[in-house]
Amino acid sequence: MNVLLLIGSPKVKQSNSEALGDCLLGLLDQEGVTTRKIKIYQALKEEKGMEELLSSINTCEALILLFPLYVDSLPSGVIKVMEAIAAQRSDPHSSPPRPGGQTFMAICNSGFPEAEHNDTALAICRCFAEKTGLQWLGGLPMGGGEVIGGKPLTSLGGMLRNQINALQMAAEAIVERKKLPAEAVALFRKPSIPRWLYVCCGHFGWRRQARENGVLKRIREQPYK
């Protein structure tokens, strides 16, 4: 089996999505699967980026999309690729892969601590799969993605044990071409730290960034109100 992982974060390094993806790829490697990772935003910077991306997508057996939640939806570069896939597959002159021949799973992480913020974006992915002939394996939503800080999940001292266990189940589902078990989704949704602690750390982080950028006194300004 060959699995293609698409990373949808525009961050060049230290992306939370990539950290989650690397963990999943490690687990898939243990299952003896051939894996490949492509960062969408970097690929699209190349002259023939979209063409090459579509070609890699068309030749994989399992496609995984891992992205950060942006304004309750998907980042624009990811939407651009989804639109290109849909256009190609509805073109009568193209020869897209056989409907149902490829499986598709999506994994989304958000900045807000509640995992349900990701549900609409994952529903968009499910509809996309239905329209493009991909076999939908399910979606994993994670709230409070900023706890990852772009670091390897296993380096975070057990804080993400539920998410790692869910990714193990996801790897098995991909290999067996089966739907994600409900238990995997439930584990992935679990907060990795208490909500109050996450919010405290969030405030601290915003204030530190504001201080570093010399705008701490202006942090409560609302210029567009």
Ligand X SMILES: Cc1cc2nc3c(=O)[nH]c(=O)nc-3n(C[C@H](O)[C@H](O)[C@H](O)COP(=O)(O)O)c2cc1C
Chain residues binding ligand X by CB under 6 A are: 9, 11, 15-17, 68-72, 109-112, 117, 145-146
198 phi, psi to nearest 5 deg:
-60, -45
Q: Is beta strand 103-109 parallel, antiparallel or unpaired with respect to 135-142?
A: parallel
Q: Please, what is the minimum distance in Å from the beta carbon of residue 109 to ligand X?
A: 5
Nearer to ligand X, 112 or 128 (CB): 112
Say which DSSP state 192 is in.
Answer: S
| Alpha-carbon span 110 to 96, nearest angstrom | 32
Residues 6+ apart with CB under 8 A from 42: 12
Q: Please, what is the minimum distance in Å from the beta carbon of residue 40 to ligand X?
A: 11
Q: Are 143 and 121 in contact (CB under 8 A)?
A: no
Q: Please, what is the minimum distance in Å from the beta carbon of residue 225 to ligand X?
A: 19
| Alpha-carbon span 71 to 69, nearest angstrom | 7
Tell me the residue ranges of DSSP E strands in the chain. Answer: 2-7, 34-39, 62-68, 103-109, 135-142
Nearer to ligand X, 35 or 109 (CB): 109
Pick from 46, 65, 59: nearest CA to 128: 65
Bridge partners for 4 per DSSP = 36, 63
CA 92 to chain centre: 30
Q: Please, what is the minimum distance in Å from the beta carbon of residue 115 to ligand X?
A: 10
Nearer to ligand X, 22 or 146 (CB): 146
Nearer to ligand X, 12 or 87 (CB): 12
| Alpha-carbon span 133 to 145, nearest angstrom | 30
Nearer to ligand X, 69 or 125 (CB): 69
Nearer to ligand X, 9 or 102 (CB): 9
Q: Please, what is the minimum distance in Å from the beta carbon of residue 65 to ligand X?
A: 12
| Alpha-carbon span 191 to 91, nearest angstrom | 43
Q: Please, what is the minimum distance in Å from the beta carbon of residue 224 to ligand X?
A: 16
